[in-house]
């Protein structure tokens, strides 16, 4: 009798669990598992932890569901679809392009970004202007990607078009191969190439190889269990309506837009010729004041191009271009002394950083401190007040930077405490520093790969500080 009762209880539990939806199981376990891939636009490990657009988006979704987030990385891109349909994860958040063939394999959530596939070549080689021009060239793409799907469509029109599809290579590896002359072409999504262009100034877009396409998350094709999929639909509707998605996209992409490759060429030249004597000075200042030394070096390059005797028409001087007043405040006796200037500049940045309201979190806190270094803390505060008055968030850099240019317009600055300022300058200033900072990190990664992950960090992770779930 007891055995029968136990068996009945077990059967009842099995039936109860069988009736639970995928969403119920996730909430019961307290964890959602996503499949993604290592890239600067999806997911990577930084010194302050995990980051990347897809990771941040998935983290918001996990918070929305009230569960923890688990990351799973497949061996290759081709493993994504078998793994999701084999119940090895709950969804794919990997910058997937929505295509007709894929719609038969997975169920796509609402799209969140538009991109275009672009053919990439090396500057100095003859620029191809059409598909006919790349026939016979060495073309390699990631196996199983939407790029390969597009090439198959093109082959129907151009039978002589051939390429290599590699499971062992990712996008960055293929860009490296073009830069090194090992291959002639590859295909990359426009959003991803924007990130990589800073690191490969010798590469260019030849032409768009596709019409605009959409990126979306992917779920299993189980139409009998809609709970998790419907929750994702509601989540995307909410973050689109409240502006969270726009802020997240701007945070990860806006500062790389409008970049000119010649900037990297000049910067890399100075990294080799000018930076080495001062590297340990930046490291000393970084350790003293709690900043990544590469951020301080990027700041100094923006200020003086690492020239110790730099002087501006307004009287600021030295590596960190300190005013006489600021130098005195920071106990800098000789502004033209490299070490004194670097220590003084780092101390001043720390002062500005610490004076900001406590509820401004990273990375916004550092971007605003840099803006204040350029335009002054008073003008930054004026811009924050204008931002709030216009319905923006004065704690978010992406909102404040939109309103800083208003400080040069009389109808706005006459209402402020500190008056007129060239408000566009700090916006460009911070954008440039973020770019230089990312390049310095990337260079460190290439020099000492055994000491760093594949993607070490980005300018979203600056100093040791926690960031709240909200973006």
Cβ neighbourhood burial of 59 (10 Å; 0-12, 13-18, 19+) = buried
Residue 221, SS3 per DSSP: coil
Strands 31-35 and 68-72, sheet pairing: parallel
Q: What is the DSSP string of 248-299?
A: HHHHHHGGGTT--HHHHHHHHHHHHHTSGGGHHHHHHHHHHHT--HHHHHHH
Comparing CA positions, the residue from 404, 365, 368, 366 lying closest to residue 383 is: 404
Q: Residues with catalytic annotation? A: 303
15: tokens are 């039936």
CA pair distance 42, 56, nearest whole angstrom: 9
CA pair distance 434, 429, nearest whole angstrom: 9
- The contacts of residue 241 (CB under 8 Å, 6+ apart) are none
Tokens 């939407």 correspond to what residue?
146
CA pair distance 470, 164, nearest whole angstrom: 42
Alpha helices in 293-423 (DSSP H): 293-304, 324-329, 338-355, 364-375, 377-389, 397-403, 410-413
**Residue 345: phi, psi to the nearest 5?**
-65, -40
Q: What is the DSSP string of 409-422?
A: SHHHHTTSSS----
CA pair distance 44, 170, nearest whole angstrom: 14
* For the chain, the helix, strand and coil percentages under 3-state DSSP, each to the nearest 5: 50, 15, 35
CA pair distance 301, 368, nearest whole angstrom: 18
CA pair distance 56, 471, nearest whole angstrom: 9
């Amino acid at each position: 009798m007891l055995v029968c009762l136990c068996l009945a209880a077990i059967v009842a539990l099995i039936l109860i669990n069988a009736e639970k939806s995928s969403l119920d199981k996730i909430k019961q376990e307290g964890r959602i598992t996503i499949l993604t891939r290592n890239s600067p636009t999806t997911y990577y490990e930084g010194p302050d932890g995990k980051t990347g657009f897809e990771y941040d988006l998935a983290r918001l979704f996990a918070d929305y569901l009230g569960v923890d987030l688990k990351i799973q990385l497949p061996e290759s891109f081709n493993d994504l679809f078998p793994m999701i349909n084999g119940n090895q994860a709950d969804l794919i958040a990997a910058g997937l392009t929505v295509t007709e063939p894929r719609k038969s394999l997975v169920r796509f959530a609402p799209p969140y970004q538009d991109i275009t596939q672009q053919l990439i070549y090396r500057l100095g080689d003859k620029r191809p202007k059409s598909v006919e021009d790349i026939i016979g060239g060495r073309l390699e793409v990631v196996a199983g990607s939407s790029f390969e799907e597009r090439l198959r469509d093109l082959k129907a029109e151009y039978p002589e078009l051939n390429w290599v599809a590699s499971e062992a290579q990712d996008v960055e590896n293929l860009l490296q191969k073009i830069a090194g002359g090992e291959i002639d072409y590859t295909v990359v999504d426009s959003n991803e190439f924007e990130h990589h262009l800073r690191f490969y100034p010798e590469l260019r877009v030849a032409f768009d190889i596709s019409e605009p396409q959409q990126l979306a998350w992917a779920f299993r094709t189980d139409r009998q269990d809609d709970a998790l999929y419907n929750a994702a639909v509601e989540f995307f509707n909410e973050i689109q309506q409240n502006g969270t998605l726009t802020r997240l996209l701007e945070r990860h992409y806006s500062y790389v837009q409008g970049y000119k490759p010649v900037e990297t060429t000049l910067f890399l030249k100075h990294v080799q010729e000018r930076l080495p004597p001062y590297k340990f000075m930046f490291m000393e200042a970084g350790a003293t004041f709690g900043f990544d030394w590469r951020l301080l070096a990027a700041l100094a390059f923006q200020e003086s191009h690492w020239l110790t005797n730099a002087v501006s028409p307004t009287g600021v001087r030295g590596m960190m271009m300190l005013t006489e007043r600021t130098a005195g405040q920071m106990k800098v006796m000789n502004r033209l002394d490299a070490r004194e200037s670097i220590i003084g500049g780092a101390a001043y940045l720390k002062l500005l950083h610490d004076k900001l309201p406590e509820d401004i979190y990273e990375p916004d806190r550092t971007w605003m401190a840099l803006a204040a270094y350029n335009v002054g803390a008073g003008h930054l505060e004026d811009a924050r007040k204008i931002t709030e008055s216009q319905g923006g968030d004065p704690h978010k850099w992406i909102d404040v930077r939109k309103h800083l240019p208003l400080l040069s317009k009389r109808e706005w600055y006459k209402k402020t405490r500190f008056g007129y300022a060239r408000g566009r300058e700090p916006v460009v200033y911070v954008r440039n520093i973020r770019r230089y900072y990312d390049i310095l990190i990337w260079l460190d990664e290439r020099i000492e790969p055994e000491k760093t992950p594949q993607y070490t960090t980005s300018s979203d992770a600056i100093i040791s500080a926690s960031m709240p779930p909200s973006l």
